[in-house]
Structure 1
Amino acid sequence: MNNLKLLFRAPAALLTLACVLFPSTAPHAAQTLHLLNWEEYLSEAVIERWEAKTGVKIEQVYFDSGDKRDEVLAKPDHLIDIALTERISASRFGQRGLLDQLDEQALPNLKHIPKRWRDSCGVHGIPYLWGTLGIAYRADRLSKAPQSWADLLEPANRDEPHIIMMEDHEDILAGPLLYQQRSINTADTDELKAAFRLLQAQSPAVLTYEYVITSLRSQRYLDKADMALAYSGDQQVLNAVEGIDGEPWRYMVPEEGTLLWVDCLSVPAKGAQKALAYRFLNFLNNPQTAALNSAELGVATTNVAAKALLPEAIRQDPTIYPPEAVLQNSQVYETRPLEATQTRRRIISALINAHDAR
């Protein structure tokens, strides 16, 4: 998937894309905020509350990997008002002058977010949601639940395609590096090559390198996929997509450890609706709004006041709020040399090209 492929929820998707990427085509209409986001990563109930309160529409432009998100943000004429980022991308684009250093005075609800999470996004983003990287699996199709990254990376039935990975040069390497007891931030070429070889050997069992929610929502591989590289919370969307009783999709964190991720929200420096963007970000961090969003998505909130409002069942769900032992056995992304990032990009390109050639 080397060409830009964005996914849209609304029927007017193509018009939305044209208006965002080519502003000269934008029609005159009511105020609209354009949010660059993962699919299924903002509660519909939250959108409805915002639109009822303000009369301002939310149009989402979807990406299915960090690389695709970066392609959009790098375009000089995009009309994105708010972008989902993480610390490395927010810092990189902020240093290039493409993202605002956020005005905390315009965001009074930041008081509900602890310093730990705010530090996780730096000065060019505010914390949104957090979670882990692991394995989503069909409990009704597997005789035994996965325990290790080996279950995903070295499956017993390697010659039968049944696994979904993802096209992300960062996250696809996290599992192999953790399994091989390496740092997910390694810049060592030999360690990256060893992780690549593991992914190459896994490739015959891979159905696609398309993000699992994207793939199954498009009705591809519904009858074949039984495991996927996924984020905490994805299993809830997958069960909704398949509409099967009993919630067969489950999620687990492998015993070797996990990636602890924190997603951020950033404001592009050239945004034409900054006041409105800040108003939306502050609305999103109202504790009642943040609790509703977290509960509907099944993803952990960084807003402590919002967490206190969540039902006990959610606060005690280890797939959403993992126990301290899991957190202690997790790693976070850090900045690394450009050469190491380029090596990672070559790895994912080589995997996809070889897979597509089969």
Structure 2
Amino acid sequence: MTEKNNKPAPWRMRSTLLMTVSLLFPSTPVHAAEHLTLLTWEEYLSEAVIERWQAETGVEIRQIYFDSGDKRDEVLAKPGHQIDLALTELISASRFGARELLEPLDDKQLPALRHVSQRWRDSCGRYGVPYLWGTLGIAYRADRLDRVPRSWKDLLQPARADEPHIIMMEDHEDILASPLILQNRSINTSDNNELKAAFELLMAQASAVLTYEYVITSLRSQRYLDQADMALAYSGDQQVLNEVEGVEGEPWRYVVPEEGTLLWVDCLSIPTSTGQKALAYRFLEYLNQPEIAALNAADLGVATPNAAARALLPEEIREDSTIYPPEAVLERSQVYQMRPLEGTQTRRRIISALINAHDAR
């Protein structure tokens, strides 16, 4: 893992990129008569990018946050949700698209997608534009642990098994990825015995779990600040956690366990119900301009699928293995694939039972 104490963090490197973008797009006054509503994770769109867009177009970006894929899906499934753009991934985008709740995207309206390779395009399918990508791993407090976690076992079978100090997440897909990988199973399995074994591993871990709320949401609300020292997290989360905690030395670090991990790709989709379709396309095209995509990725400390944008990033970011993992890590990574709906329903029942059992303690 790259040590981050000896160099500036990515979000502190945005000034050069911001200056470049400012020269390319002169500021104009904001008149927010129009707006786009974006359904997304918290802290997942650069404020500088938003300000640049609003100054250029006069269109306000309003964000509604979710803290799990299940919560996102609940919103998108409701009639009249008034979402103009939504953060999705391949499985959810394909299912909502098949129900005609998401637009099949028109490449002719998105010429900047020429900077995004087919590998990433395929990871979002017909109904999504690649936005950011990364890994699933362990965020940890380097100042509170005696040693760096190297294995999923460190998270799932912790030495302090009866002391609550770990934060997991409610997402029915991602929480199951780690026990499945540790047990040398596919993250896409629909085999009930394999899912049961993963569930049993999570149940055995539960006495060490503080909460199943997404770690950024939990710590931003000032809960468990003094107790949490490990969390199931996404690459880039450690940077937000260090901002949230506001302590010196950037104690939150991130590691991809040696057994391998989930390689995730987040996409942006347009609901068919939006009344702002043309404006939504314009915003997607804006986000894929190399200078804007580079600014966004640098500010968030997350990997961009935009090749032209990556070339604009400072060397410190391009060589940061927590953001752009080496090929050896990618070779051990798995990606989500479409599976029978029954498999997804089983996963949701597993997580519901896990959380109910934890809450009943």
Task: Give the structure-2-normalised TM-score.
Answer: 0.91
Whichever residue aligns with residue 169 of structure 2, its letter is: M
Find runs of 4+ consecutive structure 1 residues off by over 3 angstroms. none
How much has 1:108 moved relative to structure 2? 1.0
> What SS is found at the alignment partner of 2:348?
helix
Q: Is the counterpart of residue 243 in structure 1 residue 237 in structure 2?
A: no
Provide the secondary structure at the position in 1 that maps to 2:54: helix
Aligned ranges 1:208-227 → 2 under 5 Å: 208-227=211-230
Q: Does 1:230 align with 2:211?
A: no
The 5 A counterparts of 1:306-317 are 306-317=309-320
Letter in 2 for 1:44: E
User: Where does 1:186-225 land on structure 2 (aligned, <5 Å)?
Assistant: 186-225=189-228
Q: TM-score, with normalisation over the residues of structure 1?
A: 0.92
Alignment equivalent of 1:264, drawn from 262, 267, 271: 267
- Find the partner of 2:175 among 172, 175, 192: 172
SS in 2 for 1:300: coil
- Structure 1 gaps, min length 5: 1-28
Which residue, out of 258, 266, 287, partners 2:290? 287
2:66 to 51, 63, 67: 63
1-structure distance, mates of 2:198, 2:284: 38
Match of 1:341 among 338, 341, 344: 344
- Residue 39 (1) aligns with residue 42 (2): yes
1:61 and 1:266 mapped to 2: Cα distance? 15
Which of 123, 139, 144 is 2:142 aligned to?
Answer: 139
Q: Match of 2:353, SS? A: helix
Q: Does 1:113 align with 2:106?
A: no
> Secondary structure, in 3 states, of the residue corresponding to 1:301?
coil
Residues in 2 aligned to 1:356 and 1:67: alpha-carbon distance in whole angstroms:
18
Q: Secondary structure at the match of 2:292?
A: helix
Could you say which residue in structure 2 is the equivalent of 1:76?
Answer: 79
Structure 2, unpaired ranges of 5+: 1-31
Percent identical residues = 77
1:59 and 1:259 mapped to 2: Cα distance? 30
Specify which of 151, 160, 169 is matched with residue 157 of structure 1: 160
Q: Deviations over 1:81-108 (max 9, x none)?
A: 0000001110000000000000111111
**C-alpha separation between the residues in 2 aligned to 1:195 and 1:78?**
34
**CA–CA separation in structure 2 for the residues paired with 1:108 and 1:332:** 27
Once residues 263 and 154 of structure 2 are traced to their aligned partners in structure 1, the CA distance between those partners, rounded to angstroms, is 20
- The equivalent residue for 1:14 is none
1:340 positional shift? 1.2
RMSD of Structure 2 on Structure 1 (CA): 0.6
Pairwise CA distance, 1:337: 1.3
Post-superposition Cα deviations, 1:133-167, rounded to whole Å, max 9, x if no partner, equal 00000000000000000000000001000000000
- Mapped to 2, the partners of 1:143 and 1:118 lie a distance apart of 42
Cross-structure match for 1:353: 356
The corresponding residue for 1:5 is none
**1:24-46 superposed Cα distances (whole Å, 9 cap, x missing partner):** xxxxx710100000000000000
1:108 counterpart letter in structure 2: P
**1:326 aligned to 2:309?**
no
